[in-house]
Structure 1
Amino acid sequence: MSQPSSPKAGPTRGRMSRRKSAGPVPYDFRRPTKLSREHVRTLQIAYETFARQYATVLTSTLRVVSQVTLISIEQLTYDEYITALENPTVMAMVEMEPLSGINIFEFSLSTALVCVDHMLGGPGGKQPQRPLTDIETPLIQGLLTRVLAELRYAYEPITEIRPKLGSIEYNPQFVQAAGSSDAMIVASFEMRVGTEECVATICMPFGPLFSKLQGDGLGSTLTDAQRQAKEAALRNMTAGLSNTPIDISVRFDPVTLTASELVMLRPGDVVPLGHPVTAPLAVTSAGITFAHAVPGSSGRRLACLVVPTPKEDDR
């Protein structure tokens, strides 16, 4: 999902190496990668188009040679994304209707100050590490508004979006755009403005964008052989999962005890259950309740009969 590029010297080297580190990567089965190769390719085409338009906007607005190149497209949790960012940095909050959630357009604070310097006729160069002033902020907002218009154009093959620029923040730890474990799609770009360079990122919630990627019509471009191979793989996976043994539990409602009561328990003690006599038991797997049942027997064996899920009013 990443394009190779040579390591860069300077302050961006650490961030680029963290995003493109070599070696094995742990796989979390509780958070599987859901982006298929076709989805990544679709996003790659859109973001490469955006990168070219982004570079054109920077060059024409700042009157200095600028370049934007796509580095990678990753699926990360929001906490992983925030942890990898520098502090301070420019984080523009963006709404992209009709996609739900808050999106983040981020790039380094020094690059933002260089852009302001060029817009005001300056030569760029080294900039102090400080937040934007009340005069500089509208200049950056105007630039970002033009850039987001190009993002709307790049996303037209996927879905129609209407980017709307919100507030600008500087401390990643104070930005609560999503839950820490929420899946995000993060696109990273190498951004050069004159001699200044950084890694810019666009972070979007996974769910709303993934639903649009599923309806991107890629299936219509598959050949008959590819479609048959895809259907055969789906059948094989379904057959394999259907025969996989799963531990199932039939449980009463849990009982709450204090620490002292738990320590004082001895053989022969009676622990009253709070489960109503008329309420069915919960059928669970991996801590998830997926059905309800009443206890009984089948011949000489204990058994349970699955019943409709009771309503809250009935319970």
Structure 2
Amino acid sequence: MSETTPSTRDDTVYLYDFRRPTALAREHSRVLELAFETFARQWGTQLTANVRVFSQVECDRVSVHTYDEYAASLPSTTAMVLCQIGDIIPKGVIQFPTGAALSWVNSMLGGTREVGETDRTFTPLEAALVRKIMDDAIEDLRYSMGPLLPESITVDGIQYNSQFAQAAATSELMIVAAFSIRIGDVNTKATLALPATVILPKLGEANPTLPAGDAPALLTVQLAQTPVDVSARFTPVPVRPGVILRLQVGDVLPIPHPVHRPLDIAVGDHVVGAAAIGASGSRLAVSVINPEDQK
């Protein structure tokens, strides 16, 4: 008996609140996933250029939470880059561990040793370098979101306490994307939260959902545009396997199809009409006819 290969699938369990089901339609979720996956690739490229170490960013999931739920899920001490989006009051948030940011700065400055102290605020120089990384990330975000994020977005400041950072009202819905960042041999997690009031209206315009009552008409239109194989065929002739096995070049199989009878127009095994043999230029063709006219 051969050994079984251990499963590599993600067995992480996420709590589901049945009192407040997911607010995003499946089509809208897919649009957001594609946008955030594009952002992850762009951000990884920018981190590689800034930190000078090969970096890779992957989008793990996209979900909707209130700001209070989002803030409660974060570590008490972490780097939260608040982003001003146009003139609206709720802000966007890019969150990552302070230790990860300090290792980025260490690499940018040519350091090779591991960063010792992690849970602390940034010095002015460190904050300036982190802000430079975030400015590049925001440019990637605007490119990736396209029409979903038409408003200008800029870095407003950096907070270090997830419970005291006032990015939005506690009940404000936020679209939260979780990312896995790998820089060299170091793995870390990051999140991006954007106010749903900014994204959802544009999301409906980019990929509008249709009412369920339109399903029959849409199905009819889709079926009418689906290509199918159509054949014009003679009356089939039953032949025994022994005859087929003895067939040779030059043999004749008589077809029990009267000369005056039109051909059958068939789609699969279903006869849908009748046709007479004709020509279209140099090609053989059939002309659809009324079979009653041939009687």
Query: Please, which of 123, 137, 157 is the counterpart of residue 133 of structure 1?
Result: 123
- Aligned equivalents of 2:125, 2:106: Cα separation in 1: 12
Is it true that 1:189 corresponds to 2:185 in the alignment? no
CA RMSD of aligned residues (A): 2.5
Could you tell me which residue of structure 2 aligns to residue 203 of structure 1?
Answer: 193
Q: TM-score normalised to the size of structure 1?
A: 0.61
Could you tell me which residue of structure 1 aligns to residue 243 of structure 2?
Answer: none
Higher mean C-alpha displacement, 207-216 vs 36-45: 207-216
Is it true that 1:26 corresponds to 2:12 in the alignment? no
Distance 1:138 1:101, change over 3 A: same
- Aligned equivalents of 1:226, 1:75: Cα separation in 2: 31
- Aligned equivalents of 1:144, 1:157: Cα separation in 2: 21
Q: TM-score normalised to the size of structure 2?
A: 0.65
Is it true that 1:89 corresponds to 2:89 in the alignment? no
Cα deviations across residues 215-234 of structure 1 (Å, max 9, x unaligned)?
Answer: 114459xxx857747xxxxx
Could you tell me which residue of structure 2 aligns to residue 116 of structure 1?
Answer: 105
Is it true that 1:51 corresponds to 2:40 in the alignment? yes
CA deviation after TM superposition for structure 1 residue 160, in Å: 2.0
Alignment of 1:253-264 (within 5 A): none
Higher mean C-alpha displacement, 168-177 vs 154-163: 154-163
Letter in 1 for 2:18: Y
- Aligned equivalents of 2:217, 2:94: Cα separation in 1: 37
- Aligned equivalents of 1:156, 1:187: Cα separation in 2: 16
Q: Kindly report structure 1 stretches of 4+ aligned residues shifted beyond 3 Å.
A: 4-7, 217-220, 224-229
Could you tell me which residue of structure 1 aligns to residue 64 of structure 2?
Answer: 75
Sequence identity (%):
34
CA deviation after TM superposition for structure 1 residue 60, in Å: 1.1
Query: Please, which of 1, 4, 28 is the counterpart of residue 39 of structure 1?
Result: 28
Cα deviations across residues 147-188 of structure 1 (Å, max 9, x unaligned)?
Answer: 110001001143423220111000001112222222211000
Structure 2, unaligned runs of 5 or more:
1-6, 220-295
Query: Please, which of 150, 167, 174 is the counterpart of residue 157 of structure 2?
Result: 167
Distance 1:87 1:155, change over 3 A: same
Structure with the greater alpha carbon radius of gyration: 2
The DSSP-based 3-state class of the residue aligned with 1:203 is strand
The DSSP-based 3-state class of the residue aligned with 1:89 is strand
- Aligned equivalents of 2:180, 2:81: Cα separation in 1: 18
